[in-house]
Amino acid sequence: MAENCLIVIPARYGSQRFPGKVLAPIAGKPVLQWCWEAAVKSRLGRVIIATEHERVLAFARSLGASALMTSPACQSGTDRVYEAYRASGGRPAGSGRHSPQSVPGALRPAFVVNFQGDEPFMSSATLIKAFKKLKASPDCGIATACARIKEKTDISNPNCVKIAMNSAGRALYFSRCPVPYHHELTDLKGYHYFKHCGFYIYRREALEKFVRLKPSPLERLERLEQLRAMENGIGIAVAEVPALGPAIDVPADLGAAAKFLRKIRR
């Protein structure tokens, strides 16, 4: 286990598009439990569930998971992750920030993983590959992962975030629109679209810089916080991994998740 790595699962109960989604069941197991089990299995470091709601806190503790309450005023999952990081030995926050409960005996981690609590099919292998990618990319402050899009409907689905990157696996742009655009006159046949896998691994310094930055114009347009990092010069390394199952963004995704499980269990 890498003792200098902290995994935080931000589990917001009050989701605008799907309230309570982190506790919604898939094959009898809540979404949050799927995420927590994969995070623990990665053995990258200590795992903490960070939430703003007592129901989520109680469920996390019923699993035997480390969990803490964070401010309901957090504007993003990364803000919630930062509060958990501070409680685990990170630097003191600036004025006006909510102070979460502290975690006894915590050490200041060098890497912080934002494992989003609505990605039930994220595998431990994916986390490990992205972690190795970041350690091998000293020019990048953040790492994430992508997978080739195989379903044509995902290309036009705004809930499926697409990513364009260079040959070295550095992110160039993220969008809810199809990027890169495939012009009808292009001679690049068979060029794939890639789906962003919803998690981030931060170097400590990159996370501390990110939360001090104001939301950027592209971030506000696309409602994608990773664009704030890119607009401010923080490089993002991307590891390509096998296709993942659906994230849970809206209630209809539960049906897609059940269908995906039936397919992989055949």
How much is the pLDDT for 83? 93
Contact criterion met (CB below 8 Å) for 60 and 96: no
Please, what are the domains in the chain?
1-119 (3.90.550.10), 122-244 (3.90.550.10)
| Binned average pLDDT, 10 residues per bin, the chain of 266 residues | 84 92 96 96 95 96 95 88 86 41 62 95 95 96 96 92 96 97 86 93 97 96 96 98 89 93 86
Looking at residue 233, its pLDDT comes to 97
pTM: 0.89
Nearest to 111 by CA among 233, 237, 240: 237
Number of separate helices (H) and strands (E) present in the chain: 9, 11
| Contact predicate 119/161, CB 8 Å | no
Confirm if 6 and 113 have CB atoms less than 8 A apart.
Answer: yes
- Burial bucket for residue 86 (CB in 10 Å: 0-12, 13-18, 19+): buried
pLDDT at 88: 77
Q: Which residue has the tokens 């060029």?
A: 191
**11 φ/ψ angles, rounded to the nearest 5 degrees:** -125, 85
- How far is it, in rounded angstroms, from Cα 266 to Cα 261? 9
User: What pLDDT, on a 0 to 100 scale, did the predictor assign at position 136?
Assistant: 96
pLDDT reported for residue 140? 98
What pLDDT shows up at residue 90?
A: 63
